């Protein structure tokens, strides 16, 4: 998905560029603004997230060139394209000096335009290779809240922590992770993807996921146990290899089934979150899970115990859990039936449907614990760099 900002002098040409973008078949988000390049300063914050800036103009003034130069200097990921009906050698040279790398004459040639777009998409793909943190959510018993926790944690990381997040629903029965985040049906399932695994590439993958937030995709579960049974660990391995490069966090809703497929996800996970509640059967099932993880060779510190619907008045307390499972719970989530039901029935994450609920707040704390913010040196914000300084010197081109 490429993020495009179009700044166009002519409304009519802006509409035509929009139509060409749609026809190109390239996945994109377009924001269109009327005006000149010199007004880029107004979009300083947005430029940070933009891959392609298209300027449509008859001419470029010194102020336009200065603003373009600042934009390309301070948003290094940005590719600048100029579209003009009045291209001259002088204009071409000035635009290139200001950081414009693609210059096209109006009327646009659809093929040339599509070729430039695919360069931008290729550049973005090369820049955005990531190494996702894979987190798996498992439970010894059904109905403990594994999917609710996994899906809502994913949403918080995407919407409030600006991470690119993918949820992979590995449930073998009637997988429902998508239902907790959207009321729209997913375009495809993990089973659909795996049965066409030879076609797998970034574009095919993108066509298979449900985009529930600009930062959050969900790969829906197989949908029924028969189809789920056909999935192969080697297929999931290929999917995970691909998605690790595209997302910051990959969350696998494993549920209860431990089989070659889910072991593939667990092997690749940095942390395995075991969700349980405060009853003896839950302790028993969780103990068996932890024993199994020991047999699979996982270090004890790879697992995190998450107690859902925690109530301190319950007979089985935190000390009992620690004694039985050999580790203190990493997090305690409160019971909040009203908020949980309200969110689930609307197909909305808790952070949107019941933002101030105790459960939403507790999931936010869990997000920080599982994905702590990395220490980054203080960055000068683009907005500050664009802020007007005394005098008019800031918009001067360097040539
Ligand atoms: N902290 C909570 N407070 C109140 N209700 C909750 C809480 N967590 C989950 N629930 C509710 O419990 C039910 C089961 O949740 P969920 O589907 O997430 O469990 P699961 O472990 O994924 O189940 P399954 O075994 O079917 O995969 C849902 O109705 C959900 O809204
Ligand atoms: Mg579930």
- Each residue's pLDDT, cut to its tens digit, for the chain (399 residues) gives 889 999 999 999 999 999 999 988 778 899 999 999 998 988 888 888 899 999 999 999 999 999 999 888 778 788 899 999 988 888 888 888 888 888 899 999 998 898 888 778 777 766 666 689 999 999 999 999 999 999 999 999 999 998 999 999 999 887 899 999 999 999 999 999 999 999 999 889 999 999 999 899 999 999 888 888 889 988 999 999 999 989 999 999 999 989 989 999 999 999 999 999 999 999 999 999 999 999 998 999 999 999 999 999 999 999 999 999 999 999 999 999 999 999 999 999 999 999 999 999 999 999 999 999 864 444 444 444 444 443 333 333 333
Residue 112 CB neighbour total at 10 angstroms:
12
CA-nearest of 379, 380, 389, 383 to 45 is 383
Q: DSSP strand E in 35-99: where?
A: 52-56, 79-84
Q: How far apart are CA 273 and CA 137, in angstroms?
A: 5
pTM to 2 decimals? 0.68
Give kind and range of the element (H or E) at residue 101: strand 100-105
**CA 295–ligand 2 middle distance (angstroms):** 25
DSSP 3-state assignment of 89?
helix
**CA 172–ligand 2 middle distance (angstroms):** 10
- Which atom of ligand 1 sits closest to the CA of residue 344? 31
End-to-end CA distance of the chain, in Å?
34
Give kind and range of the element (H or E) at residue 4: strand 2-8
| 255 CB near ligand 1 (under 6 Å) | yes
Give kind and range of the element (H or E) at residue 121: helix 110-127
DSSP 279-322: SHHHHHHHHHHHHHHHHTT--GGGEEEEESS--TTSSS-HHHHH
| 169 CB near ligand 1 (under 6 Å) | no
Among 140, 145, 154, 348, say which to mutate for ligand 1: greatest number of ligand atoms within 8 Å of CB. 145
DSSP 206-271: HHHSEEEETTEEEEB--SSHHHHHH--HHHHHHHHHHHHTT-SEEEEEEET--SHHHHHHHHH-SE
Q: Are 157 and 273 in contact (CB under 8 A)?
A: no
| 154 CB near ligand 1 (under 6 Å) | no
- Which atom of ligand 1 sits closest to the CA of residue 341? 31
Residue nearest to atom 26 of ligand 1 (CA): 143
């Amino acid at each position: 998905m490429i993020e495009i900002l179009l700044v166009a002098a002519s409304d009519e040409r802006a509409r035509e560029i929009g139509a060409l973008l749609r026809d190109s078949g390239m996945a994109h988000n377009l924001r269109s603004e009327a005006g000149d390049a010199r007004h880029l300063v107004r979009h300083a914050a947005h430029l940070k997230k933009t891959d392609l800036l298209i300027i449509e103009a008859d001419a470029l003034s010194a102020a336009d060139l200065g603003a373009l130069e600042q934009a390309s200097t301070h948003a290094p990921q940005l590719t600048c394209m100029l579209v003009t009906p009045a291209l001259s050698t002088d204009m071409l040279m000035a635009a290139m000096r200001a950081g414009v790398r693609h210059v096209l004459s109006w009327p646009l040639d659809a093929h040339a335009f599509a070729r430039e777009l695919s360069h931008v998409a290729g550049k973005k793909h090369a820049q955005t290779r990531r190494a996702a943190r894979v987190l798996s959510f498992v439970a010894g018993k059904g109905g403990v809240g594994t999917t609710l926790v996994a899906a809502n944690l994913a949403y918080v990381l995407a919407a409030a922590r600006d991470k690119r997040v993918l949820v992979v629903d590995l449930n073998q029965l009637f997988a429902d992770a998508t239902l907790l985040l959207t009321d729209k049906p997913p375009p495809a399932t993990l089973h659909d993807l795996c049965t066409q695994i030879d076609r797998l590439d970034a574009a095919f993958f993108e066509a298979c996921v449900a985009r529930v937030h600009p930062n959050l995709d969900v790969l829906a579960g197989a949908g029924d146990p028969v189809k789920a049974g056909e999935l192969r660990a080697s297929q999931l391995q290929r999917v995970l290899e691909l998605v690790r490069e595209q997302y910051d966090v990959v969350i696998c809703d494993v549920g209860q089934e431990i089989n070659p497929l889910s072991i593939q996800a667990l092997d690749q996970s940095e942390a395995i979150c075991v969700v349980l509640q405060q009853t003896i059967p839950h302790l028993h099932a969780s103990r068996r899970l932890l024993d199994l993880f020991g047999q699979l060779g996982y270090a004890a510190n790879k697992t995190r115990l998450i107690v859902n619907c925690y109530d301190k008045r319950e007979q089985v307390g935190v000390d009992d859990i620690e004694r039985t499972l050999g580790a203190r719970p990493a997090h305690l989530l409160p019971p909040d039936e009203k908020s949980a039901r309200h969110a689930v029935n609307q197909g909305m994450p808790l952070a949107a449907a019941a933002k101030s609920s105790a459960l939403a707040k507790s999931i936010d704390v869990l997000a920080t614990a599982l994905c702590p913010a990395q220490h980054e040196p203080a960055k000068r914000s683009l907005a500050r760099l664009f802020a007007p300084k005394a005098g008019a010197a800031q918009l001067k081109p360097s040539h």
